Amino acid sequence: MEYIKNKDFLQYVKNIISEKHQIKSHELHLTVSKIFEIHNKGSIDFGGSEEKKSQIPQLEPYKKNPKDKYGWWELEQGLYYVKINEKISIKENQLGIITPLKRTIDAGAIINTEIITKNDTNDLKLSFFAFNGIDVKENARIAKLFILES
């Protein structure tokens, strides 16, 4: 398997905010579009007849200064879902791997590593855990995507 590199990401990822800041050799940085807070517990079973989804209301960012173009989410310690701006379309012979950026970890949060295939890219939400709380600005770079091709 080989990595997709540099501008080749443009074939598989749309809605990139800044090629200059997001495309890094063999990885693409993913940015925050929306954040959802996970409420109440869900349930899963073997057959699916007793499954129940958790409530996950969308959180609204606020602007620290009315003149700001982008707002912030002030997150308490807890588990959230992050929806990304980028639309990923990978092929049957490719695997996507999403991992947290070091800057995300250094700020006190973690994103679960995700392995994605062609069928996983619709409505992709990343699990995001804030250890002691974290402030996240709209469009912040939080994770990186690697695409491997056979």
- Span 23-34, average pLDDT: 95
Query: Is the Cβ–Cβ distance between 3 and 28 less than 8 Å?
Result: no
Domain that holds residue 95: 1-39+85-150
Q: Is the pLDDT of residue 8 over 70?
A: yes
H or E, element range at 105:
helix 102-106
Half-sphere exposure of 93 (CA within 13 A, CB side): 6
Domain assignment present for residue 58? The answer is: no
Residue entry with tokens 């807890």: 78
Report the CATH number at residue 30: 2.70.40.10
Domain assignment present for residue 74? The answer is: no
H or E, element range at 148:
strand 141-149
Q: Please state, in angstroms and rounded to a whole number, the distance separating the CA atoms of residues 147 and 98.
A: 9
Q: Is the pLDDT of residue 147 over 70?
A: yes
- Span 77-85, average pLDDT: 95
Task: State the total domains in the chain.
Answer: 1
- At residue 39, the pLDDT reads 86
Domain assignment present for residue 137? The answer is: yes
- At residue 122, the pLDDT reads 66
Q: Is the pLDDT of residue 124 over 90?
A: no
- At residue 101, the pLDDT reads 97
Q: Is the pLDDT of residue 95 over 80?
A: yes
Residue entry with tokens 């855990």: 129
* Confidence category of residue 121, pLDDT binned at 50, 70, 90: low
- Span 1-24, average pLDDT: 92
pTM assigned to the model = 0.92
Domain assignment present for residue 10? The answer is: yes
Q: Please state, in angstroms and rounded to a whole number, the distance separating the CA atoms of residues 67 and 69.
A: 6
